[in-house]
Amino acid sequence: MKKNLLLLALLGLAQLGHAQTAAPAAAPQPTPQYRPAYHFSPAAHWMNDPNGMVYYKGTYHLFFQYYPDAMVWGPMHWGHATSTDLVSWKEQPIALYPDKLGWIFSGSAVIDVNNTAGFGKDAMVAIFTHHSSEEEKKGQSKHEYQSLAYSLDEGKNWKKYEGNPVLPNPGIADFRDPKVSWYEAGKKWVMTLATKDRITFYSSPNLKSWTKESEFGEKLGAHGGVWECPDLFPLTLNGKTHWVLIVNLNPGGPNGGSGTQYFVGSFDGKTFTPSSTDTKWADYGPDNYAGVTFANTGPRRIFMGWMSNWNYANQVPTAPWRNATTVARELALQQVGSQLYLVSQPVKETTKLFSSATTLKDLAVNKELDLTAKLKSVGDKFQLKISAKQLASFSVVLSNAKGEEVVIGFDKPTNRYFIDRTKSGQTGFSDKFAGRHTAPRLATTPQADLTLLVDATSVEVFADQGLTVMSELFFPTEPISTLRVYSGTGFQIQELTYAPLAPKAQ
């Protein structure tokens, strides 16, 4: 998909060069009503993949794919934002600009505690893909290669390594998105790299010289599109360490277009061995892609994705910016039967965003239960939690005065959660946007819980303590203002908690 977008971008730039006398296109009307309150989005212009996410001296650094000249994908830079709490983000100056080696595609960042690269103790080192449009025109499939940049002042200023690229391209057209981490057992750096239809692992003692270790996944997992944006990290369950390999791919996601799959297994510093070859998804919604985890966070494993889908990311009706991230999520493992699953929940810092919670207990849903009056007022930025001792078919309907609605629920006959945005407002910008999307219920317990995070134009659903997760965009023509629950078979809610966004978080 990135290659296709590159060709479109080059065509668009060429057309601009031949249309200097044409009247400029009218700028789209700003859409402040669509601006998320607690998901990061740039003040203006285009963003996609989160990059170089790293924690250092009390600050979380989020770098991201950014095009500062338009609201559509173009020559990539690394934008930069910082946060001390993972929920309030401050946009910083652009960190990395394109240069003679190419555009700045996705990658990662590490803190070089032992000065292995020689840039300085505790240097913040970015490892990223250079993408050369000039080399791509030659058709030799060597236009993507890995390079370094470093900062000695906590990410404020960056210097590119004079020896770039540090990992030349062996002849693979899609050779990108390096995720680097320190492998303590082998006292070396390990790079997890997306290489077209598989993952290739490299190792290095100093971030500068890299040795190929192994390949994984040519005939495993989902292969509806090119593999991108991988991540490899350990998680512990019941005292045993397992390794999780995240692989984003586009297209081929569980509900069309972009998606994030993962594998659980073992890693010995050279080879990743999966414990199961089943295809598993970190998020079943259509709008979570290119997600990876923060470096240097100690025992916490914190994940963040790009909240969009390449099916329509260039067309979503927002201005003067396009696209945002998901909320930060803490990852863990859970065993169900013989299978190990990745679970994700909003980081605990998210709770401070909300206030004035209203809790209702023992609610019987017979056909329809209108909660709007019981909650005094319903806004378009809130957290909703529902728990039940016995899960049954039900749906939560978020709607406005125009009858536009987003429906989130569970269908017991198929044992699937779902989100339906067919009638959610603006959907005509893409024929791939409207629809009903589903996710399997992986939990086997009779009791269930559901957490919804709603932020103007998005809903993130965490079911069964994060065992099933869905992320979904929607664009109503006026804000959500009503909340109802339906059940054709009857549904008993044990407890429901509604918490609006605190005024200070607006």
Active site residues: 49
SS (H, E, C) 197-255: CEEEEEEECCCCCCEEEEEECCCCCCCCCEEEEEEEEEEEECCEEEEEEEEEEECCCCC
Q: Which two tokens stand for residue 133?
A: 């449009």
Closest CA to 181 of 214, 226, 230, 147: 230
Q: What is the phi/psi pair of residue 59, to 5°? A: -125, 135
For 301-380, strand residue ranges (E) read 302-306, 321-322, 329-336, 339-346, 358-370
Contacts (Cβ under 8 Å, ≥6 apart) of 459: 398, 406, 408, 419, 452, 453, 471, 472, 474
Asked if 354 and 497 touch (Cβ cutoff 8 Å), the reply is no
CA distance 106 to 99: 15
Bridge partner residues of 498 (DSSP) = 358, 384
Q: What is the phi/psi pair of residue 451, to 5°? A: -120, 130
User: 């009903």: which residue's tokens?
Assistant: 436
CA distance 91 to 88: 10
The CA-based dihedral angle spanning residues 377, 380, 385, 388, taken in that order and rounded to the nearest 10 degrees: 80
CA distance 440 to 463: 10
Host H or E run for residue 70: none
